[in-house]
Amino acid sequence: AQRVTQPEKLLSVFKGAPVELKCNYSYSGSPELFWYVQYSRQRLQLLLRHISRESIKGFTADLNKGETSFHLKKPFAQEEDSAMYYCALKTGATNKLIFGTGTLLAVQP
Amino acid sequence: EPEVTQTPSHQVTQMGQEVILRCVPISNHLYFYWYRQILGQKVEFLVSFYNNEISEKSEIFDDQFSVERPDGSNFTLKIRSTKLEDSAMYFCASSEARTQYFGPGTRLLVL
């Protein structure tokens, strides 16, 4: 079955600390992985997609097919990073996104 | 930068009533989607739409649901006879190819 797991509901860090938001997926084919962010009272916004291997707002994520993971990392958290982060999987066969349950990142001053 | 828009932002309705949620996708996008998020739960796929027909739907998308693109810009989700469990945030999304861009959502409350 296709599934995305985000094991942490809440991650609280201090400003300047490193951040790693975990995402594991279950899919036997060739996946496309995305990270979406939702700031308070705003829409879901695309943060990263693995195929473009870019860094946005200091965040990076590497697809590890061996561990079936796509963890989101940032070396130094900022208060404005506080938001809900969703990992999403798109399988080759369809265009639908399968979302994880999300991790709320709280960056303390 | 173009964005997906949705109306209304909030809708309260009585159980058994019909509701229509409206979306205006980004203008050059060809693929359209509806997702929903029940409070405290994950975002779930409902339906995708391409070339004026449904390309995929989930088990949630039963006969009570329908989608339409009545003109060149709007994309609507209709729930024929709402149930209490339809209370959720409904998100529209559109894409040109791989990346889906989401609207701000419509919060539906069924009483």
pLDDT at A50: 84
- The nearest CA of chain A is from the CA of B76 a distance in Å of 18
Q: What percent of chain B has pLDDT over 90?
A: 83
Q: Give B28-58 pLDDT, tens digit per residue.
A: 899 999 999 999 889 999 999 998 899 999 9
Of B31, B43, B103, the CB nearest to A99: B43
Pairwise CB contact (< 8 Å): A43 & B33: no
Confidence band for A109, pLDDT divided at 50, 70 and 90: very high
Confidence band for B89, pLDDT divided at 50, 70 and 90: very high
Pairwise CB contact (< 8 Å): B43 & A44: yes
CA-based angle A88:A90:A96, to the nearest 5? 95
Cβ(B18)–Cβ(B79) below 8 Å: yes
Residues in A lying within 8 Å of B, measured between beta carbons:
32, 34, 36, 42-46, 49, 51, 86, 88, 90, 94-102
- The nearest CA of chain A is from the CA of B41 a distance in Å of 7
Q: Is the pLDDT of residue B84 over 80?
A: yes
